[in-house]
Amino acid sequence: MTSLFTVIIIMAAGVLSNPNEKAGDAHYSNRNIPEAIHYYTEALREDPDSAIVYYKRARAYLINHQYENYNRDIARALELDPDLPKKLSNPDLTVNVEIE
């Protein structure tokens, strides 16, 4: 399910140009969640208005059981782009996230 999920995000975001976002994606795919969070945070320092990066960091926080951070980032992502769930083809932003 992770590969399908990643494809949807890439399609929604267009071509990724932020190297920190790409590094976060790679760490997320390899289940290295703390490093993914780190790189998504760096990507947000470069582009603080990126709804998709807030969303990606939120899903990493969710997997890492950091629920307050998850809620904050999801709220910010939706504030920046209220149509984000439609763009991701997933109105429930937690459906495709695997929690261990």
Q: Any idea where the domains of the chain sit in the sequence? A: 2-87
Among residues 96, 17, 100, 91, which one has the least CA distance to residue 56? 96
Confidence label for 100 from pLDDT (cuts 50, 70 and 90) = low
Say how far residue 22 (Cα) sits from the centre of its chain.
11
Say how far residue 32 (Cα) sits from the centre of its chain.
14
Q: Is the pTM of this model over 0.85?
A: no
Average pLDDT, the chain: 81
Say what the pLDDT of residue 90 is: 53
pLDDT of residue 26 exceeding 70, the answer is: yes
Residues 55-96 have pLDDT tens digits of 999 999 999 999 999 999 999 999 999 988 888 765 444 444
Say what the pLDDT of residue 48 is: 96
CATH superfamily of 2-87: Tetratricopeptide repeat domain (1.25.40.10)
